[in-house]
Structure 1
Amino acid sequence: MRKLIEQILKFGVVGIIAFLIDWGILNLLVGLFHMNNVIAGTISFLISLVFNYLASMKYVFKHRPDMARWMEILIFFVSAVIGLLINMLILWLSTYGMSPNAAVTQHGEYLLRTNGGKLIATVIVSIWNFIIRKWLLDDTHTNAMNKLHRKGNELSEEELEAKWEKSFAHRLGMWSIEHTPKGWD
């Protein structure tokens, strides 16, 4: 439990920094350049995503030895695209009903509603990202085995291993290793 809380805190720090990058660029594009909030939100989201991937895989989630890097990157970016779609939908809804040129004519209200939508989207997308990345990308198996060796657990090592081998995350990881193109590491 302590490891999970520690991981959530690290995820939170990385997420806050990624949010500041995302939010700063969004406000720069909407506030200064009067760009449409969905387009600006997409640009800012994609830029912060690069930071988020690098920092998450270095500080938050441990690489799984049973998964190829290309699959890790694919899962990260597919989940991010789903997060981007959620983000875009919420940003669009935040200014729904305003005139098409509200970014210029009702600038203050447009910016306020955009920022409110961005905060809501950030919370929802953060929860989505943590759950999907924890499930598919994190090396929870090694952590569970280490915990088993440190102190007693309700499952034996054989039972834990059997449960892991049947899991979708492990099967996906093994499939990715078996289907890694020659020359890719």
Structure 2
Amino acid sequence: MQKLLAQIMKFGVVGVIATVIDFGIMNLLHYGLGLNILIANTSGFIISLIFNYLASMKYVFAHKEGMSRRREFIIFVVLSVIGLALNDGIVLTLNAGLGLEANIAKICATALVMVYNFVTRKIFLEGDETK
């Protein structure tokens, strides 16, 4: 149980940094450059995805024995694209559909997708030994 709690804490730290990157890019593109919310949100998500993969696989999840890094990355990207679709759908629904401010919509989406990310990465990417 202590290993799981430590792993969740590491996941949280990596997630906070990735979220800062994600929000920063989204706000820069949406509010700073006036780009559409979906373009801005997707761009932030993709840039933070790259950081998240590198940090998650180094500090949070143990490499699964017998799985190539290429396959690991592909699985990470596929799971993340599903997460992106969930993220975009939630942001669009809350922002355009319900009129919530973009950052509030993004916070809600991030919280929900974070749970999805941890569970799916643990199931599909983690080896026997957690970090």
Please indicate the TM-score interval, normalised by the length of the shorter structure. Answer: over 0.9
Runs (5+) with no aligned partner, structure 2: none
CA change 1:97–1:134 in 2 (3 A) is closer
1:131 equivalenced with 2:119 (yes/no): yes
Distance across 2 between alignment mates of 1:116 and 1:65: 40
User: CA deviation digits over 1:45-85, x for unaligned, max 9?
Assistant: 00010000000000000101122222211110000000110
Are the aligned partners of 2:21 and 2:44 in contact in 1 as well (CA < 8 Å)?
A: yes
Query: How far is the alpha carbon of 1:22 from its aligned partner?
Result: 0.3
> Shift of the alpha carbon at 1:97?
4.7
After TM superposition, the score normalised by the length of structure 2 is 0.93
Residue matched to 1:180:
none
Matches within 5 A, 1:30-179: 30-97=30-97, 113-139=101-127, 141-142=128-129
Equivalenced residues, count: 130
- Residue range with higher mean Cα deviation, 59-68 or 40-49: 59-68
Q: Secondary structure at the match of 2:96?
A: coil
For 1:56 and 1:12, how far apart are their aligned partners in 2? 10
Question: RMSD of aligned C-alpha atoms?
Answer: 1.6
Q: Which runs of 4+ in 1 moved over 6 A?
A: none
Whole-Å separation in 1 of the counterparts to 2:30 and 2:73: 30
Change (3 A) 1:97 1:57: closer
Higher mean alpha-carbon deviation, 29-38 vs 7-16, is at 29-38
Which amino acid letter does the alignment assign opposite residue 68 of structure 2?
A: A
CA distance in 1, matches of 2:73, 2:37: 27
Whole-angstrom distance in 2 between the partners of 1:97 and 1:22: 22
> Relative contact order, CA 8 A, sep 6+: which one is greater?
2
Q: Which has the larger radius of gyration?
A: 1
Residue by residue over 1:25-56, the C-alpha shift from the partner in whole angstroms, topping out at 9 and shown as x without a partner, is 11111111111111100011000100000000
- Structure 1 length normalisation: TM-score? 0.67
